[in-house]
Structure 1
Amino acid sequence: MNKVYVFILLLIGFVFSASASVKEEADKAYQENDFKTAIEKYEAILNAGQESADVYYNLGNSYYKNKNIAKAVLNYERALLLSPGDNDVRYNLEMAKSKTIDKVTPKSEVFIVTWINSIRNIMSESAWSVFAISCFILFLLGTSTYIFGKKIVLKKIGFSLAVIFLFFTVVGNLFADAQKDRLVNRTGAIVMQPSVTVKSTPNESGTDLFVLHEGTKVYINDNTMKGWKEVSLEDGNRGWVPTESIEVI
């Protein structure tokens, strides 16, 4: 049994070592402006299951330099899912979006919603989990001070800290859950074809509603029809597009 464990550990180590080597080759190809090779190497890393924000970001940069805007947007979006607080990724994503044809104006939302979302996107799901656990430990310390403190001042401080850190524990857990849901249930997608006509019904005979172009982000609302998906834009427009015309983030 011990030999099996050793073999598994060696295999895992080999996989990570190989991935690190491939990444070094990909980074070198990118620095030498060999973007086609860089793309192949970064894609190989992802196909091997070594997903990371850094690889998606570098792949997005490679596609951008190779003038494949749709793929660049797709990979920047994937990097942002894993690392929502990364300003470099967000900046490059906006740069890539500025090269797309469709300019979608998001529907206005209540200020408090925008504010909460901006705070949530400061950190990833794992970072919010660590934050919540840390606050829970501090909550326990505050509670202990309140219960076992011998002075009134200490009890008041302990109670106040317990309430504050309990609040932050709840917030941290809620944000971690929201970020995890975004990762697991990915509804965002990018139009990958040069242009696609959005239909009123999930078939070619449906009424033409509007046309979308490559690089535009949509949200999948209905995934039940074979060969078709109902999508919506940030401005509220919606309709049906062929499944092969988009790629899920």
Structure 2
Amino acid sequence: MKRIILFISILTAFSSLTMAQSDAVSQANNLYTKGDYTSAAKQYETILSNQGVAPELYFNLGNAYYKSNEIGRSILNYERALRLSPSYDDARFNLELAQTKVVDNSMQSSTFFLSRWIQNFIKMLTSNQWLGISVALFVVTLILIFLFIFGSTHFIRKLSFQVAVSLLLVCFATFIFSGIRKDQLVNHREAIVMVGVVTVKSSPDKSGTDLFQLHEGTKVKVKSTLGNWTEIKLGNGNVGWVEQANIEKI
């Protein structure tokens, strides 16, 4: 009887939590619909802080910031939505739309097209999805090895060996892709410029030489940190230092 009461209590608590989440999201959505984008953004931020992350919430938050003309924050949250759900087409479309308003897009264009294609290909799936493919391919490879050893004909042994070698290579590749995606999600090696204009310095000090300027919404790679300063790198190879307060990691 006690177990039944406990089970019902857990169900009730879970139901209440779900309803609270649903009510909070509905309130944020209503604020957005009414055109109160600033309040909607604050509500979505609160939900993410208190109740956990979700790609849909980051997408909605990005929309609210885009409507508020906060391009940096909109890009940041579209990127976060895509980190959690790489196949989120609406988030990708809105991200590309927001990026058209970034002044420094030309600084990102020098990456070799093949490298860029590979990066985009890896981002199509999450770390767990790549890992699942890798495990599945490994299992199939083991079956093929079994056929190679115990196959009844030369043709079966030859074919199973050739396919097994090919699948094993793909298995290793997808395992590496899984590690890359996990590294991207956990180590936060990319960031977005959050202020209107920031001057990039030659050293982690305000007295350092001014190298160039970046504008809100620009994506940068994080190389290292020292105190309140972060060393960044752009797609065109430019490197310098900015104060951490001017950027936010994805």
Question: TM above 0.5, one fold?
Answer: yes
- For the 8 Å contact 2:192–2:249, the answer to whether it is kept is yes
Counterpart Cα distance in 2 of 1:194 and 1:116: 31
Indicate the residue corresponding to 1:231 in structure 2: 232
Residues 162, 28 of structure 1: CA spacing in aligned structure 2 closer, same or farther, 3 A cutoff? farther
Residue by residue, what CA displacement relative to the aligned partner does 1:203-233 show, whole Å, maximum 9, x if unpaired? Answer: 222222222222112222221x212112222
- May I ask how many residue pairs the two structures share in their alignment? 248
**Residues 13-52 of structure 1: matches in 2 within 5 Å?**
14-52=16-54
**Residues 113-128 of structure 1: matches in 2 within 5 Å?**
113-128=115-130
- For the 8 Å contact 2:85–2:126, the answer to whether it is kept is yes
Aligned to 2:231, the other structure's residue is in SS state strand
Residue by residue, what CA displacement relative to the aligned partner does 1:179-212 show, whole Å, maximum 9, x if unpaired? Answer: 0011111121111122222222222222222222
**Residues 132-147 of structure 1: matches in 2 within 5 Å?**
132-147=134-149
Tell which deviates more after alignment, 67-76 or 197-206. Answer: 197-206
Could you tell me which amino acid in structure 2 is paired with residue 125 of structure 1?
S
Residues 161, 14 of structure 1: CA spacing in aligned structure 2 closer, same or farther, 3 A cutoff? farther
Residues 11, 144 of structure 1: CA spacing in aligned structure 2 closer, same or farther, 3 A cutoff? farther
Indicate the residue corresponding to 1:184 in structure 2: 186
Indicate the residue corresponding to 2:241 in structure 1: 240
Alignment match of 1:74 (pick from 73, 76, 98): 76
RMSD: 2.7
Counterpart Cα distance in 1 of 2:231 and 2:167: 42
Indicate the residue corresponding to 1:130 in structure 2: 132
- For the 8 Å contact 2:122–2:177, the answer to whether it is kept is yes
Tell which deviates more after alignment, 121-130 or 157-166. Answer: 157-166
Question: Shift of the alpha carbon at 1:48?
Answer: 2.0
Question: Shift of the alpha carbon at 1:144?
Answer: 2.4
Tell which deviates more after alignment, 141-150 or 119-128. Answer: 141-150
Counterpart Cα distance in 1 of 2:232 and 2:87: 26
Indicate the residue corresponding to 1:172 in structure 2: 174
Residues 108, 207 of structure 1: CA spacing in aligned structure 2 closer, same or farther, 3 A cutoff? closer
Structure 2 gaps, min length 5: none
Residues 143, 7 of structure 1: CA spacing in aligned structure 2 closer, same or farther, 3 A cutoff? farther
- For the 8 Å contact 2:107–2:234, the answer to whether it is kept is no
Tell which deviates more after alignment, 203-212 or 142-151. Answer: 142-151
Give percent identity, aligned residues only.
38
Question: Shift of the alpha carbon at 1:239?
Answer: 1.6
- For the 8 Å contact 1:104–1:234, the answer to whether it is kept is no
Aligned to 1:211, the other structure's residue is in SS state strand
Could you tell me which amino acid in structure 2 is paired with residue 232 of structure 1?
K
Question: Shift of the alpha carbon at 1:71?
Answer: 0.7
Structure 1 gaps, min length 5: none
- For the 8 Å contact 2:21–2:47, the answer to whether it is kept is yes
Q: Structure 1-normalised TM-score?
A: 0.86
Tell which deviates more after alignment, 142-151 or 169-178. Answer: 142-151
Counterpart Cα distance in 2 of 1:110 and 1:186: 23
Q: Structure 2-normalised TM-score?
A: 0.85
- For the 8 Å contact 1:201–1:239, the answer to whether it is kept is yes
Residue by residue, what CA displacement relative to the aligned partner does 1:151-201 show, whole Å, maximum 9, x if unpaired? Answer: 333333432332232222111111000100111111211111222222222
- For the 8 Å contact 2:224–2:231, the answer to whether it is kept is yes
